[in-house]
Structure formats: structure tokens, C-alpha cells
Amino acid sequence: GQQVMQIPQYQHVQEGEDFTTYCNSSTTLSNIQWYKQRPGGHPVFLIQLVKSGEVKKQKRLTFQFGEAKKNSSLHITATQTTDVGTYFCADPTDDKIIFGKGTRLHILP
């Protein structure tokens, strides 16, 4: 069935360091979405990528969609304590969204 693989599962970084999470699919994706879930909170939609090779930026966050539309990445520059949480990629289909397992980001002060 459909699935998106996400790595790493956990990441500890010093505050100020960069962070990247990767998402891979065995099939070509139409679109890919990214969500952030703070500890104890619910997922919050960050962005949707649609085009092959697309790169979008939101302040310190850079989202990339692979040329083959089978992989995507989220890169955070100079992490801050507010970046703590779990980042999920997701494959939105016509009838539902399939979530990756997420990458849990811990920031060390």
C-alpha cells in the first residue's frame, strides 16, 4: 500500500545548528505536505509542494520536492527552541492523507 518513509526518527541538535528531515516514497507523489506537531499538541499544516523540483521557503524553513517527485526534505536553518516538535511529511490523495512516521526534533540549549 501507499507509504512514505521518513528519516531520521529522532534528531538532537544544539540550538543554532541546522536540521534536516527526509521523506521518501516508493511511488511518484502528486503532492507532498509537511506538518509540525508540538509536544502535546496537534498537527499543524506547514506547506504543500506540488511541482517537480519545487523549493519553498518559510523564514528559516526550506522545503524541497525532488525532481522525480518521490522524495522531499525539510531543512531548518539555525534552530531555535521554538522548533521543538515532530515534523511529519504526508502524501495527500484524493480521499485521505498518509502520514510518515515523523522526525522528532530535540533542541539542546
Instruction: Report the residue from 48, 62, 73, 77 that binds another protein according to the rule CB under 8 A.
Output: 48
Between the alpha carbon of residue 10 and those of residues 20, 27, 64, the distances in Å are 11, 24, 20
Applying CB under 8 A, does 25 fall inside the site for another protein?
Answer: no
Applying CB under 8 A, does 84 fall inside the site for another protein?
Answer: no
CA distance 5 to 57: 22
Nearest approach, Cβ of 13 to another protein (angstroms)?
18
Q: Which ranges constitute the DSSP H helices of the chain?
A: none
Of 63 and 88, CB closest to another protein: 88
